[in-house]
Structure 1
Amino acid sequence: MDALVKKRIQADFQERMNQDELENCMRCGFCLPSCPTYIQSGYDETQSPRGRIALMKGIVMGDIEPDGNIEQTLNECLGCRACEPACPAGVNYGQLLEEARDIFSKHKPYKLSTRIIRKTVFDNLFPYQGRMENLTSLLGLYQKSGLQKLTRTIGFMKLFPESLATMEKVLPEAPRQKEMKTRPAYYKSLNSTIATVAFFKGCLMDTMFMETNKATIELLQKVGCEIAVPDTQNCCGALHGHAGEKMKAKELAKKNIIAFEKVQADFIITNAGGCGAFLHDYYHLLEDDPEWAERAASFAAKIKDITAILVELGFHQLPLTLPAQVVTYQDSCHLRNVQKTFEQPRLLLKSIGGIEYAEMKNADRCCGSAGIYNLVHTELSMKHLDYKMEQVQDTAATTIVTTNPGCLLQMKLGIEREGLSGEVRAVHIVDLLLEAVSDR
């Protein structure tokens, strides 16, 4: 990183970073026990929230130069935001982190291959749901044509890193393209209507995890919801926001706000903790835009996780039963730390007859998925996953429940890595609750 680039980064830090927020950090250390990277690093201060804030502040004050080591430290943060509930001063660490990453990304001289990958993923794939559907269809063709079996038989997957090869095993069966393209935009309640809601269907959730989206709608219908699914909605922008693509995230946010403003709904329901948290943070993403700030705040105020509305509407009071099994729950970091939703999933699980619920130690600690963290920081991610699987095995659980697609794939990956396939399963809470409904 040459001197001119460093000067530009520092100038952007001084202009864009919220100095009041930086000053709010009292360096009290309450965040330290909650930070997975700090613990995993062996208590390296630069891997803690207050350490990273100190680095940001140092750049702003001109005490230190921005360099590749600082950028790496910021990028190695999981972004789980567990430090925020622990902070007595209420520092919005996640917002500082995203701003700092965006500044570094803006000035980073990415090599050509990286630029191509970033442009393909962030500009030409996730913003277009039709392309996501086409990609999922190709995955389905790979799974159903015999090609998947062939690649495994000849050992082709051994050419890839172990984690990627294992991830290929745990991907869900992809739906057919016709299924993805032929769904209604409105669903009636199955009982007397109590609420009218809009459903944020997401990118991966509405393609690779389409069955979970269908289950979500069925549960909402059962508790008296009429559901609108705006067809002009798009990716929430979370991956963009976390990876230093803030302007693209803002574009996606504005499109979603427009799409949902056309629907007169009491709430906007999500079933992916990461998406829900980023949608909830639209008020911050667009707070400096006079045209959009109020609209973003109104949108964000309607965001509600599926587990929260199910509890509000009494789903846990229905007769719910499952075959005997031990169930544990892995918190979605952003669902817990940003949307403050953690009691509701547990209440729903404990209301199911026939099962034994076992609370996992440190269920609120990040599993290491963290968006695409397990792809770009694989070794670190696997260390977090190994710790998580130790806690799972201590519960003797046969079913691990999550509320986010990334967490779900990560837990499936952990099951494979530990050789527990066939003994333990990982499932989205929506799918488990639908299994438990006795009148299906």
Structure 2
Amino acid sequence: MSTESKKQEMIIDWQNRMDQDEMLNCMRCGFCLPSCPTYEESGFQESQSPRGRIALMKGVADGLIEPDEKVEESLNQCLGCRACEPVCPSGVKYGHLLEEVRDVVNQNKTHSFPEKVIRHGVFYELFPHQNRMRMAVGFLGLYQRTGLQKAVRKTKLLNRLPEPMGTMEKVLPQVPKMRDMKNRPVHYHTENPQKRVAFFSGCLMDTMFMSTNDATAKLLQKAGCDIVIPESQACCGALHGHSGEKEKAKAMAKRNIEAFEELNVDYIVTNAGGCGAFLIDYGHLLKDEPEWTERAETFAGKLKDMSTVLMELDFPGRGYRLPAQVITYQDSCHLKNVMHTTTEPRQLIQSIQGTEYKEMKDAGRCCGSAGIYNIVESEMSMKILDSKMINAKAAKAATIVTTNPGCLLQMKLGIEREGLTDQVRAVHLADLLLEAVEYEEKEVSSV
């Protein structure tokens, strides 16, 4: 098929699939502009704003603009942070438009052979299969524990990688051993439980960040939750949904709905903002499949972030403490803008006795991680991170708390880039709270 024929097919698909009403809801008022990191960091280019990107989508759908490389570049450079949605007077669901148009572009694009191999490997052969995720992370663990990591660093091979990737290697967590990842509990019993919850363990969260999942389970137990973890659950599908692999995202959504819907639980709990935001949107993802829509809405109706559950069960009232330190918080974009959870993490942090909480300026502004954005759009990502670190340093905090694995790695990357590793740390909220629990228990036992 000729390039021109392929382009015409894309335009027809674009016109058929893009929600005209949603695009027309954009009044071009500009309220979204101050909230958009790429608009600011690009020098206020209209094509790098939500309003500008919707205008491009509408222009292609109306036959006024060709879907060329410049249009695709504008769409790809969007972080998908969805900070534009809460400030939009018309309530435009920009994130839904972005995911749909990226799928249209991807499904009608001719990928090079290396791109096809990489996309197939990542989206179809790795992330949907938790056993393969364990194996991949297990190899990373061997790299860290066998001395190979030290040898590679001595040879300075990492210096030949693009700067963000080379630095990222330094901030990866110490990953668990393969046998520990395989031998995961499926039920955490609690005496006299107040709530029975199911835990969405995720793919990376239950491998590379397994200790954070363990911390989350312990906190929920302390708060009075009986916890069940269905073994048949899958990756949430966010990476696929954001990268133009909508059908695969749907398949994983259905698998997760089936895994959780027969459980007699009060809540489905997540501890990763990016996962939670995609899970709670399953109703929209499956809106064209009536037999799944209601099941998806029921699933989403039970979904809560761990911070919300802990606050509901009065976790702060237990009086945990840590040594004196200043703590600040960096919002997960999706936890804030999609799940609308902002006060609960802050309340939990502020409840830790012996510490001082200091709000970071523009804490709700994206840090530039956005899934794999910091790899595929590293230049813009690093500009956004550099701006974020200005505010992080101004807070003069010893601990930066986040609620999403991508944000956590990005903040660690920023700390490393700024040469602050001996002064500042970045931790997930669950790890900080468990640290406070264990510190208080140790203090009590030593009296």
The alignment's TM-score, normalised by the length of structure 1, stands at 0.99
Q: 1:439 aligns with which of 416, 441, 447?
A: 441
- Aligned residue type for 1:126: F
2:325 aligns to what SS in structure 1? Answer: strand
- Whole-Å Cα distance in 2 between the matches of residues 395 and 3 of structure 1? 53
Structure 2 unaligned residues grouped into runs of 5+:
443-447
Separation in structure 2 between the aligned mates of residue 64 and residue 153 of structure 1, nearest angstrom? 51
Tell me, in whole angstroms, the C-alpha distance in 1 between the residues paired with 2:257 and 2:263.
10
Quote the offset at 1:156 in angstroms.
1.5
User: 1:24, 1:162 → 2: CA distance?
Assistant: 41
Q: CA deviation at 1:262?
A: 2.5
Alignment of 1:183-332 (within 5 A): 183-189=184-190, 191-332=191-332
Amino acid at match of 2:179: K
Q: CA deviation at 1:216?
A: 0.3
Query: Partners in 2 of 1:394 and 1:182 — Cα distance?
Result: 43
- Matched letter for residue 20 of structure 1: D
Secondary structure of the corresponding residue to residue 434 of structure 2 = helix
SS in 2 for 1:322: coil
Q: For each residue in 1:303-358, what CA deviation from the matched residue of structure 2 results, as whole angstroms up to 9, or x when unmatched?
A: 10001111111001111111111111000000000000001001111111111111
Deviations 1:225-275 (A, max 9, x none): 100000000100000000000000000000000001131111110000000
- Number of residue pairs aligned between Structure 1 and Structure 2: 439
Q: How far 1:3 sits from its partner (Å)?
A: 2.1
Shift of 1:430: 0.4
Superimposed CA distance per residue, residues 89-147 of structure 1 (whole angstroms, 9 cap, x where no aligned partner): 10000000000000000011111111100000000000000000001110110000000
One-letter identity of the residue aligned with 1:260: F
Q: Aligned equivalents of 1:61 and 1:275: distance in 2?
A: 34
Partner Cα separation in structure 2 for residue 400 and residue 4 of structure 1: 51
**In structure 2, what is the equivalent of residue 30 of structure 1?**
31
Partners of 2:53 and 2:158 in 1: how far apart?
Answer: 37
Give the SS at the match of 2:180: helix
- Which residue identity does 1:353 align to in structure 2? Q
Amino acid in structure 2 at the alignment position of 1:416: E
Structural RMSD (CA): 0.9
Deviations 1:338-389 (A, max 9, x none): 0000010011111111111110010011000000000000111000000011
SS at match of 2:397: coil
Tell me, in whole angstroms, the C-alpha distance in 1 between the residues paired with 2:275 and 2:247: 17
Amino acid at match of 2:83: A
State how 1:331-342 maps to structure 2 within 5 Å: 331-342=331-342
SS for the counterpart of 2:410 is: helix
Give 2:110's aligned residue. Answer: 109
Q: Which residue of 2 aligns with 1:91?
A: 92
Map 1:27-106; keep pairs closer than 5 Å: 27-106=28-107
Secondary structure in structure 1 of the residue aligned to 2:264 = coil
How far apart, in 2, do the equivalents of 1:238 and 1:289 lie? 19
Corresponding residue SS for 1:370: coil
Which residue of the partner structure matches residue 388 of structure 1?
388
The 2-side partners of 1:298 and 1:75 are apart by: 32
Q: Given residue 261 of structure 2, which amino acid in structure 1 is its aligned partner?
A: E
Aligned to 1:161: 162
- Aligned residue for 2:259, secondary structure, equals helix
Equivalent-residue separation in structure 1 for 2:419 and 2:145 (angstroms): 25
Where structure 1 has 5 or more consecutive residues not aligned to the other structure, the ranges are none
Code of the residue aligned with 1:29 in structure 2: it is G
Question: What is aligned with 2:445?
Answer: none
Kindly provide the amino acid, as one letter, of the partner of residue 322 in structure 1.
L
> Map of 1:98-137 to 2, 5 A cutoff?
98-137=99-138
SS at match of 1:439: helix
Give the corresponding residue for 2:424: 424
CA displacement at 1:439 relative to structure 2: 2.8
- Displacement after TM superposition at 1:185 (Å): 0.8
How many Å separate the matches in 1 of 2:184 and 2:65? 55
Q: How far apart are the structure 1 equivalents of 2:172 and 2:380?
A: 21
Give how far 1:192 is off: 2.2
CA apart distance, 1:172: 0.5
Q: Secondary structure at the match of 1:216?
A: helix
SS at match of 1:234: coil
- Alpha-carbon distance between aligned partners in 1 of 2:65 and 2:167, rounded to the nearest angstrom: 41
Query: CA shift at 1:404, angstroms?
Result: 0.2
**Map of 2:363 onto structure 1:** 363
User: For 2:44, what is the secondary structure of its paired residue?
Assistant: coil
* Residue 158 of structure 1: how far off its partner (Å): 1.4
TM-score between both structures, scaled by the size of structure 2: 0.97
The separation in 1 between residues aligned to 2:157 and 2:30, in whole angstroms, is 48
Letter of the 1:423 partner, please give it. Q
Of residues 261-270 and 396-405 in structure 1, the stretch that sits farther from structure 2 once superposed is: 261-270
Q: Which runs of 4+ in 1 moved over 6 A?
A: none
Tell me the residue number matched to 1:178. 179
Deviations along 1:51-96, whole A, 9 cap, x unmatched? 1001111111111111111011001000000000000110000000
Measured in 1, the distance between the counterparts of 2:145 and 2:58 equals 53
Equivalent AA in structure 2 for residue 109 of structure 1: T
Q: Matched residues in 2 for 1:196 and 1:235: separation?
A: 22
Deviation at 1:154, TM superposition (A): 1.3
